[in-house]
Chain A
Amino acid sequence: MGTEHLATPTADSYAVIGKPLPKVDAAAKCLGRTKFADDIVLPRMLHAKILRSPHPHARITAIDTSRAEALDGVKVVITGADLPNSFGILPVSQDEHALEGDHVRFIGDPVVAVAAIDEDTAVEALDLVSVTYQELDVIASIDDAVAKPEPQLHDYADDGNLHKLVHLEFGEVDRALEQADHLQEDLFFYEGNTHLPMEQHATVAEYGGNGRLTVWSSSQTPHYVHRALEKVLELPRARIRVVAMPNGGGFGGKSDPFAHEIVVAKLAMLTGRPVKICLTREEVFYCHRGRHPVLMKVRTGVKADGSITGMDFESYLDGGAYGSYGVASTYYTGALQTVTYEVPAYRFKGARAFTNKPPCGPKRGHGTPQPRFAVEVTLDKIAERLSIDPAQLRLQQLQPADSVTANWLKIGSMGLGACIAKVTEGSDWSNRFRKLPYGRGLGLACSSYITGAGLPIYWNAMPHSGVQLKCDRGGGVTVFCGSTDIGQGSDSILAYIVAEILGVDPMEMAVVTADTDLTPVDLGSYSSRVTLMTGQAAIQAAERIRARLLGPVAEKLDVPAERLEFSGSRVFDQTDPERGVTFGEAVALAEAAGGTVGSVGSYTPPRSPGRYRGAGVGPSPAYSYSACVAEVEVDPDSGIVVVPRVWIGHDIGRSINSSLVMGQVEGGVYMGLGEALMEEMAYRPNRNVVHKWPSMLEYKSPTMHEMCDVTTYLIEDPDANGPFGAKEAGQGPLLPVMPAVANAIYDAVGVRIDEVPMSPPKVHKAIKDKARGKAPRFGPSSVPSVPWPEVTYVPPPWEGGDGKAHPRPGLETRGEGG
């Protein structure tokens, strides 16, 4: 595709790895031929619609579906009574029902479903369903949840309407803060926002005459949908096939098993006909699972030279109506503060509230953009206070490579210093920071993200990713893997990695993914895990193919096996390249010698050193690092912030495909910019918590006019745990954008916007307050009082800890041993 002329900057010995090759599915996408879930049409297919709660919190006292059932064209109407088993993504929060039977908890909660001969009839039928509700007191906010333990949304909550309470301490934080020369205390609020994938969720289900169910869905996690269907439908998983179609954008929004997926499966089983549902855009807003609104308090002790002595971090998450990934989200708001800069002592308290709003969950960066915003803005304030350059403040205390953090996260390669060097050089930081005219400014922020979670969502000892290879006598190779391509290019990554090892052309390979009948399990497209985990599994599978081919080819060519090279779709003698066979001939020789040529490979992440309760969130095989400088122009009269340019450096470890990495970095900057400036999943608390903007027009996201220019630097510092050294790119580059913009606004107009999004009214108010001599700041002023559980105290590695919880020094050992 015209890329041969481009030399790779690194890894010149690779034929495929690092090259900006087109994606294996790019042409199909540009031709409009890629089939997304809603593009599936089956003979005799019915259409489903779901009636949703119009109340934020209510008991269902009666449902009358008789008029809907009588409507011509309606095949079946179901309610919660037809789907009584609960489900949910995490084993600890199985709190959802495909149709809620007696208790609705947000406007949009599913109640009744209809299957009819067409969509119009299904919509008409919903109007004929009568549901009687008894309204309940509404929990509209974190403060509400603290103040009102009743009525409880869920009886399994840790305390009243507080879903989850966490209290962890690593080293003696109070003592560390006392030893500081300066104690910086800040409060921040990060408003929720949503994924807004361009594709509305859609699912098609078919129940065959043989008692097997097939579900095609826009899902990032077909394996978890498979498990949820088994549980709710009481159908053995061996009788269920889940196919995740290419996702028209996911960003975390298609990572839960969803009510509508289970509903159409049930409708297909009841009618014996294929059933499709495609959600409206309004329903997509109600599915949500997006960014948690998080209120944060951070107290940071620093020495006069800026070095951190300790950090005390509190998170208050507005979780919405269900658990979703919320327990993990809560831990994530406290997990990764320690992986960028050395934090000798660290305490984290986290509280997640249940509220009567669409459930929050994982959005790109899952639980880390909020605390990262807080940490990076607080560091900017510390740098200002101590008159230290913000870049220098960070560079002087980077977490070292190959180290273990206070909370027992094992760091491998660490390229943040190189990222900071690149973005400060590119932005001419030293000549422009604090030196631009009023209204213009530069801001710096950094971040880190996991490359896959170290532990699976449900406890098991099996691999996280599996790959199967099949070689054809004609030289073709088929890769089978459960991973789901959501646009990030995971299908292509499989092809590139196998092609590199077998010396074949990635465009000559077939890739079969995300089909529980055909592909070995991969846990799904979340936590930036796919390239690393499927990549390692693919390497193992491909090396096993090589091992199969070596003997027969060596014998045929009469060449020692160790002299054989795989390249250019041939296997040949390194010392005499003419002496060789085609890859297809090599497969045929191996097949003749030993039977069908195939292999499997799998990957399980290394065990993390953390052994305390809560240590499951944060460990990763590798951490990516990013640094960002944002330039802003602030109009003091309107508060409008324009970001003309962002410089971003990303430590990718090694690019498997540099073009795809560039696309992920640019896309991450874009999504971060939207969160920084405009995106908010907001509700009207005084109007029954009606969603403020359930449409793409009112939910503002950046168009081409708002998107900034991006100067990207890829730092290649290969990580020992990554395939060819690769780390993640899908989520990390979003994280530093919001704090970089906040810090740039301060440089431009001297006000602190301690809240995301930094929308014009907030900026305008802070500027006006400053002019009137008030505090030049917009942000929260207090946190609620929460009944924290007793601390889990874990000595950090440098205090001789073993990764386990121990009694805190100086505390009575209550209950210890007894």
Chain B
Amino acid sequence: MPVEPVQIKKRPGKVRGTFLVNGEAHDVTYAPHKTLLEVLREELALTGTKHGCELGECGTCTILIEGEPILSCLALAQAYQDVPMETVEGMAQESNLHPLQAAFVEMGAAQCGYCTPGVLLAAKALLAESAAPTRQDIKDALAGNLCRCTGYIKIYEAIELAAARMRGDEAEPAREAFYGY
């Protein structure tokens, strides 16, 4: 029986570019309308970057471009080729947690953990600018990152603990943070 030749339509044209993520260069072929969030998650399988609205409203997809936090859901991927960027996967050094990550683990600052990657990166950008941020500084820097689990308290405490340790202080959590008053 003769076999019908299969008609395969080609998908619309894609573009090609290099993304510099966590110190590694990735050559990617992707649809030109894709956001940076989509390229990271779907082309590079870096699913540590999350999404909560894909409209720039919740801060969950925060990543760092040359150290500055941006919302990757609103960033057109094409505009960020050849620019060094960092995602949550780039924070730990080999098997060692970044001090922020370690403090988040210790304080219980990640409950469901879904906003955590974005919060960690926004906090990293803050600590790069200010080694000893006040609580108001933290609020000003991270007010764009919504968290529905923690009430933000453990996040403040973890950032303050990490900042102190990164300054070289032998800081320990306040007893009240774990047991109440």
Contact = CB atoms under 8 A, between A and B. Distances in A.
B106 interface: yes
B179 A29 contact: no
Given A3-B106, A198-B50, A281-B53, A707 B9 contact: no
B149 A667 contact: yes
B124 interface: no
Interface string B41-63: 11001011111111101101000
Contacts of B51: 38, 200
A41 interface: yes
Given A3-B106, A39-B47, A714 B146 contact: no
Interface stretch (B13-21, B77-85, B97-105): B97-105
Interface centre among A2, A38, A196, A251 (most CB of B within 10 A): A2
B150 interface: yes
B114 A198 contact: yes
> Secondary structure of the A side of the interface?
loop
Contact of B87 (A9, A32, A426, A714): A32
B92 interface: yes
Nearest to B175: A6
Given A281-B53, A670-B152, A712-B181, A198 B144 contact: no
Nearest to A32: B48
B120 A30 contact: yes
Contacts of A682: none
Given A662-B108, A703-B144, A704-B142, A670 B150 contact: yes
Interface residues of B, number: 65
B180 interface: yes
Contacts of A713: 180-181
A696 B48 contact: no
Interface in B2-31: 9, 11, 31
A6 B151 CA distance: 24
A695 B52 contact: no
Nearest to A669: B151
A33 interface: yes
Contact of A281 (B52, B92, B150): B52
B39 interface: no
Given A670-B151, A670-B152, A695-B57, A31 B106 contact: no
B153 interface: yes
A696 B53 contact: yes
Contacts of B138: 704
B116 interface: yes
Given A198-B60, A696-B53, A23 B179 contact: no
A33 B116 CA distance: 11
Given A487-B149, A658-B178, A198 B115 contact: yes
B143 A32 contact: no
B131 interface: no
Contacts of A660: 108
Contact of A2 (B101, B106, B149, B153): B106
Contacts of B66: none
A643 to B, nearest CB: 12
Contacts of A9: 179
A666 B181 CA distance: 13
Contacts of A149: none
A307 interface: no
A34 interface: yes
B150 A36 contact: no
Interface string A9-37: 10000000000101101111111111110
A571 B52 CA distance: 48
Nearest to A5: B172
B143 to A, nearest CB: 4
Nearest to A120: B31
Interface string B122-147: 00000000000000001100111111
Given A705-B143, A712-B181, A27 B97 contact: yes
Count chain A CB atoms within 10 A of each CB in B41, B87, B146 and give the residue with the most. B146
A667 B139 contact: no
Given A32-B47, A487-B149, A246 B112 contact: yes
Contacts of A489: 111
Given A20-B179, A663-B154, A707-B152, A198 B101 contact: no
A205 B143 CA distance: 36
A25 B180 CA distance: 23
Contacts of B87: 32
A669 B53 CA distance: 24
Contact of A196 (B117, B120, B148): B148
Contacts of A567: none
A198 B106 contact: no
B108 A72 contact: no
B146 to A, nearest CB: 6
A22 B60 contact: no
A806 to B, nearest CB: 46
Interface in A606-664: 658-660, 662-663
Contacts of B47: 32, 35, 38-39
B111 A30 contact: no
Given A197-B148, A666-B151, A671-B148, A33 B48 contact: yes
Chain A CB within 10 A, most for which of B88, B115, B151: B151
Interface in A690-728: 695-697, 701, 703-705, 707, 710-714
Interface in A187-242: 195-200
A25 B113 CA distance: 9
B64 interface: no
A249 interface: yes
Contacts of A705: 139, 143
A31 B55 contact: no
B110 interface: yes
Contact of B113 (A487, A668, A697, A701): A487
Interface string A661-692: 01101111111000000000000000000000
B89 A32 contact: yes
Contacts of A196: 148
A461 interface: no
Contacts of B50: 36, 198-199, 248
Nearest to A663: B108
A139 interface: no
Given A488-B111, A666-B153, A22 B105 contact: yes
Nearest to B107: A659
A647 to B, nearest CB: 9
Interface in A463-493: 486-489
A671 B152 CA distance: 11
A1 interface: yes
Nearest to B139: A704
A132 interface: no
Contacts of B115: 198
Contacts of B146: 198, 696, 701, 703
Contacts of B180: 658, 662, 665, 712-714
A280 interface: yes
A197 B176 CA distance: 28
A29 B41 CA distance: 16
A536 interface: no
B113 to A, nearest CB: 3
Nearest to A674: B148
A602 interface: no
Interface of B: 9, 11, 31, 41-42, 45, 47-55, 57-58, 60, 87-89, 91-92, 97, 101-102, 104-108, 110-117, 120, 138-139, 142-154, 156, 172-173, 175-181
Question: Which are the 9 A-B pairs with shortest beta-carbon distances?
Answer: A32-B48, A487-B112, A29-B113, A670-B151, A248-B114, A32-B88, A20-B178, A487-B111, A666-B151
Given A32-B49, A713-B180, 15 more contacts: A1-B106, A6-B179, A8-B179, A29-B110, A29-B116, A32-B89, A38-B47, A198-B58, A199-B112, A249-B149, A426-B181, A489-B111, A662-B178, A667-B151, A697-B57
11 contacts: A2-B173, A22-B106, A26-B104, A30-B110, A31-B89, A31-B101, A36-B50, A486-B112, A663-B154, A703-B146, A705-B139
